[in-house]
Amino acid sequence: MIGFALVLFAHSDFRAWPNFPNTGCRCKPGKQRSRHMNMPRLFLVGPMGSGKTTVGRHLAKRFEMEFLDLDQEIEKRCGVDVSIIFEIEGEAGFREREHAMLDEVSRREHILLATGGGSILRPDNRQLLRERGLVVWLKTSVDQQLKRLERDQRRPLLQAPDRRARLDAMAEARNPLYAECAHLVVRSVNVSPMAMANRAHRQILDFIQQETAR
């Protein structure tokens, strides 16, 4: 199993966080409302292979939130894989579809959304993520990406003769954008995705409590 270790940091521009929307908890009839009732939407950003989908599913269960994967939502809407969209429409066409879907699903209440690795490339995407929920950057190294994506043949941007060079270039271009967009940074190495999600769950709750008490 892929290992992770977690460290959670506040972004330097986090003072704007109390303006985030209060989405509410969709509790079943007769079920006691939990401490998650005021949890804002959670958005996971980060490069491919950072664990957004794997960790996100566990974290969504901990927060009693609906889990969504942005790429999967695009595929369901279009009826084809992301790779086919890239092949037919190119990256520019895919990014337009990605923006439209992100704008749509990020309005839903009480969701945890795993975004695509390149969703932060557009300034309007970064802005809407920061304004509509709590953005968590799952930060990982290129070495970890190479290990986790060793057998991956589906991601269009990973199909290159030199995967390390491609991932290095993407990290150099995108890491500043993840940093700009994120309110929290999660560094990953050495514990299971479930353990990482459990620790993130506790620390996010503590962090929200501290920030909203200011």
Indicate whether 2 belongs to any domain. Answer: no
Question: Per mean pLDDT, which range of 82-86, 113-117, 149-153 is the poorest?
Answer: 149-153
Q: What is the CATH number of the domain that holds 95?
A: 3.40.50.300
Q: Is residue 25 part of a domain?
A: no
| Total count of domains within the chain | 1
Range of the domain at 91: 7-20+47-152+162-212
Report, as an integer, the average pLDDT of 174-192: 87
Residue 1 lies in a domain: no
Please give the full DSSP string across the chain, using - where no structure is assigned: ------EEEE-TTGGGGGGS------PPTTPPP-TTTTPPEEEEE--TTS-HHHHHHHHHHHTT-EEEEHHHHHHHHHSS-HHHHHHHHHHHHHHHHHHHHHHHHTTSSSEEEE--TTGGGSHHHHHHHHHHEEEEEEE--HHHHHHHTTT----GGG-SS-HHHHHHHHHHHHHHHHHHH-SEEEE--SS-HHHHHHHHHHHHHHHHHHHHT-
Residue 144 banded pLDDT, cuts 50, 70, 90: confident
Q: Is 134 within a domain? A: yes
**Total-model pTM:** 0.81
**Looking at the domain assignment, is residue 31 inside a domain?**
no
Q: Domain for residue 188, yes or no?
A: yes
In a domain, 192, yes or no: yes
Answer whether residue 35 is part of any domain. no
Read off the pLDDT of residues 17-73 as tens digits, 9 standing for 90 and up: 434 444 333 333 333 334 444 567 999 999 988 889 999 999 999 999 999 999 999
Query: Regarding predicted confidence, which is higher, 12 or 186?
Result: 186
The pLDDT assigned to 163 comes to 86
